[in-house]
A and B are shown apart, each in its own frame.
Chain A
Amino acid sequence: MQMNESVAAPAPVKRRRRSDNRAGLWLIAPALLVLAVVIGYPIVSAIVQSFNADRAFNPETGFFEDGGFAGFSNYMHWLLQDCGKGMNSCPPGTAGSQFWDAIGVTFLLTGITVALEVVLGFWIAIIMGRNLWGRGLLRASVLVPWAIPTAVTAKLWAFIFAPQGIVNAVTGLETQWTTGTWELLTAVIVADVWKTTPFVALLILAGLQMIPQDVYDAAKMDGATRWQQFTRVTLPLVKPALLVAVLFRLLDALRMYDLPAIMQGNTSGAATTMSMLVTATIREGDFANASALSTIVFLIIFACAFLMVKGLGANAVAQAQPDQRTVGGGKQKKLVAVDTSSTKAMVMPREGGK
């Protein structure tokens, strides 16, 4: 939207733009309708469902009946651990009792995997950016883990970490990677980092290649060391791309499901994430409770994304924007024109191109 404002046309043409807008609206209407059906409807439906009570059991007839309106009780069930007898009344062995554990595990996995992926991804991106012999092959081969479907990755690592798997065979340990607590979390982290680092590396590489060589030449002329070049030139200039990578990964990791679900199996083990708890609740037939949980998860992820964009994004603009203007060569014009937070700046041209 800001894109429109920044290229706002002068006043005389305004009248014409009105009818243009109308035509434009009609043109995008089909797309909006599709979005309303595939995104809007499920979200609204889940929220509506989350305020209904779960099917109620009628002991007289032995049949389930409609539960009716429930207000916030489904949310209380999760947030206050209310299993029918007030706060903290969810005994071990119920899905409710796993709520805070699942949130903790999800954030733990997110924090560790995203941190590792950014550090390793940066390193790989720098290597991939160099003019090495066989660079094309290197770039292609680094992408292989990302190209493998997650379900296959999860199965592969589950075999590797099996009790008679290759990890135990090579190290001579008898560690129970798939059933222990920290063991399972370690295994999931290793698998996720292996799978997703290439994606982060690729996004960072795209950012690195936006930096023109002359900035480095100028830095060298000024007598900057390699470290200074990295911290004063590379980091600030790659920051927008880096933040996009972190944002994408953060959202991805917070809704992590397939990797732990397959490696842990359909159990309530140590790596039960928020999304896994939603499906476990659905499986018990508690659709309203599951809707409340998925709404809570949605809000948590939304809040994280919001903080990311507003907090870090705003900062990035203040620092990165002047830099971009000064280095604004031919390639960069598009970026500078989009006067908005750096994260959007990276995203917008990509979407516009589609």
Chain B
Amino acid sequence: MKRRTGIIAMGAVAAMVLSGCASGGEGEGEGTEEGLDTRGPISFAMGANDAGKLEPIIEAWNAEHPEEEVSLVELPQEANGQRDQLVQSLQAESGDYDVMALDVTWTAEFAANGWLQPLDGDLALDTSGLLPATVDSATYMDTLYAAPQNTNAQLLFYRTDIVEEAPTTWDELLSSRDAADEADMDLLVMQLRNYEGLAVQTTQAINSWGGAVVDTDGQTPVVDSEEAKAGIQALADAYANGDIPKDANGFTEEQTNLSFLAGESVFAYNWPYMYDTAKNEPTSEVGDDFDVAAIVGPDGPGASTLGGYNNGINAFSENKATAFDFVQFILSEENQRSFAEQSFPPVLASIYDDEELITEFPYLPALKDALENAQPRPVTPYYAAVSKAIADNAYAAIVEGTPVDQAVADMSDAITASTGE
């Protein structure tokens, strides 16, 4: 028995020693002053799903800068996996990923943790040529913390063989129900599965109807306005009476894409990549019988939710001067053009007026309209919790039939609970 206690004590001591070692400080911004003018090889981390679009740019950079090579680190395909990997590395205050392609929604959280190098002083970025909404999405507490890389806004895809013109209001869209029934198709598909995509759809509806999710401070919920309720109510009604099919509660972007390509729906809300798939995928049955327009609100174009990536420079990076140059290099006209050619919406405003590109990609003007009306998702360091508060309660209201007043009150409380305390 004595021997046993000895062993346990030994184990406990070992554990305490170890935990003592690990409980280092969580200080913020400690690394931000170092490496500001150092140059050298850097790494660029981006999700494998989109990293291919950056490869030619990295190759071009490396050809010009053999002393400051950029190596691409592919992160997991799925957004949550990418975020987990970055957060783990940054919590250990590691400078492994010098430049990180951040989903727009992570920028505030990463900045608030002191993981991002503010882009001011020596690293001030010229944002005059960029789309304003994209700059807002990278700005936190009035400081720019990342360089917009590419953006995204949802578009309304419609079948030109079923409806002659794109609807401009929500009621006009719903009035095509008879045409859809006649063709034995669903009227409208969108992402109603309970995940980030539903948070996008919900903020889109709330903004389109003139409401907002949070106040300008990014914290105070204002979802209980009449406008916001009307937006959610519109989606709930459309789902209840079958304008949006019942199985859309399991739809992500991919199911939306499949449904539209299979010719099962007249209208679809989705990101611009579907333009590419609908035109070019061999399985697509829509061919040229579709076009895109801005998503709709009650009396005109709606406010799409902004997507895309912002490039953040790691506060613990050792070669920030190189990192900053590379981030600027991505924003060059040539490189932004190459994004447009891959249905990866650029942030440089001038690209959208390029006649040559418009002939090749006729959706660009519609996308530009959408981007001008687009609203960023709440810029808050608690984005993950806020997104959950929006999606869970929107799912309850739209799919499960919880009264909208109740759901909106819960949503408001949940946002307060997750940002306040």
Contact = CB atoms under 8 A, between A and B. Distances in A.
B376 interface: no
B358 interface: no
Contacts of A37: 14, 18
Contacts of B417: 83-84, 89-91, 94, 96
A94 B418 contact: yes
B214 to A, nearest CB: 14
Nearest to A47: B19
A63 B28 contact: yes
Contact of A36 (B14, B247, B413): B14
A286 B87 CA distance: 13
Interface stretch (A108-116, A262-270, A291-299, A343-351): A262-270
Interface stretch (B176-184, B302-310, B386-394): B386-394
Contacts of B384: 283-285
Contact of A284 (B22, B113, B388): B388
A100 B196 CA distance: 24
A179 B251 CA distance: 10
A296 B348 CA distance: 50
A57 interface: yes
A268 B387 CA distance: 12
Contact of A178 (B250, B391, B415, B420): B250
A13 B398 CA distance: 78
B357 interface: no
A251 interface: no
Nearest to A77: B421
Nearest to A93: B414
A84 B19 CA distance: 29
Interface string A62-98: 1111100000000000000001100001111111110
A89 B413 CA distance: 9
Contacts of B385: 94-95, 284, 286
Nearest to A181: B400
Given A63-B112, A176-B249, A284-B382, A91 B388 contact: no
Contact of A84 (B250, B392, B411, B421): B421
Nearest to B247: A163
B406 to A, nearest CB: 9
- Chain A contact-residue range equals 35 or more
Contact of B114 (A63, A178, A283): A63
Contacts of B246: 176
B14 A45 contact: no
A191 B124 CA distance: 55
A19 interface: no
A236 to B, nearest CB: 33
B29 interface: yes
Interface stretch (B5-13, B51-59, B289-297): B5-13
B47 to A, nearest CB: 15
A13 to B, nearest CB: 17
B25 interface: yes
A35 B11 contact: yes
A57 B250 CA distance: 35
B19 A267 contact: no
B11 A36 contact: yes
A36 B83 CA distance: 30
Contacts of B418: 94, 284
Interface string B71-100: 000000000100110010000000000000
Interface in A141-159: none
A318 interface: no
Contact of A92 (B25, B381, B414): B414
A44 interface: yes
Given A63-B29, A94-B388, A57 B112 contact: yes
Nearest to B109: A285
Contacts of A126: none
B111 A62 contact: yes
Contacts, number: 143
Contacts of A41: 14-15, 18-19
Contacts of A57: 112, 381-382, 419
A266 B388 contact: no
Interface string B242-256: 000011011000000
Interface string A5-47: 0000000000000000100010001001101110011011100
A266 B83 CA distance: 14
A268 B15 contact: no
Contacts of B109: 285
A168 B18 CA distance: 53
Contact of B19 (A45, A62, A179): A45
Nearest to B78: A266
A266 B199 CA distance: 14
A170 interface: no
B195 A265 contact: yes
B413 A55 contact: no
B158 to A, nearest CB: 24
Nearest to A265: B195
A1 interface: yes
A33 B385 CA distance: 39
A48 interface: yes
B193 interface: yes
B392 to A, nearest CB: 4
A309 B356 CA distance: 75
Interface-centre pick from A36, A43, A163 (highest chain B CB count, 10 A): A36
B126 to A, nearest CB: 24
Given A62-B111, A179-B250, A40 B411 contact: no
B6 to A, nearest CB: 8
Given A64-B112, A267-B193, 8 more contacts: A32-B7, A35-B11, A36-B10, A36-B11, A45-B18, A57-B419, A64-B28, A178-B250
- The 8 A-B pairs at the shortest CB distance, nearest first, are namely A93-B414, A91-B413, A62-B141, A93-B389, A40-B15, A93-B392, A36-B14, A267-B194
14 contacts: A25-B3, A25-B7, A35-B11, A37-B18, A44-B18, A64-B114, A83-B417, A93-B391, A176-B250, A179-B249, A179-B250, A265-B193, A268-B388, A284-B418
Interface of B: 3-4, 6-7, 10-12, 14-16, 18-19, 22-23, 25-26, 28-29, 80, 83-84, 87, 109, 111-114, 140-141, 193-195, 246-247, 249-250, 381-382, 384-385, 388-393, 396, 399, 410-411, 413-415, 417-421
Interface of A: 1, 21, 25, 29, 32-33, 35-37, 40-41, 43-45, 48, 55, 57, 61-66, 83-84, 89-97, 163, 174, 176, 178-179, 265-269, 280, 283-286
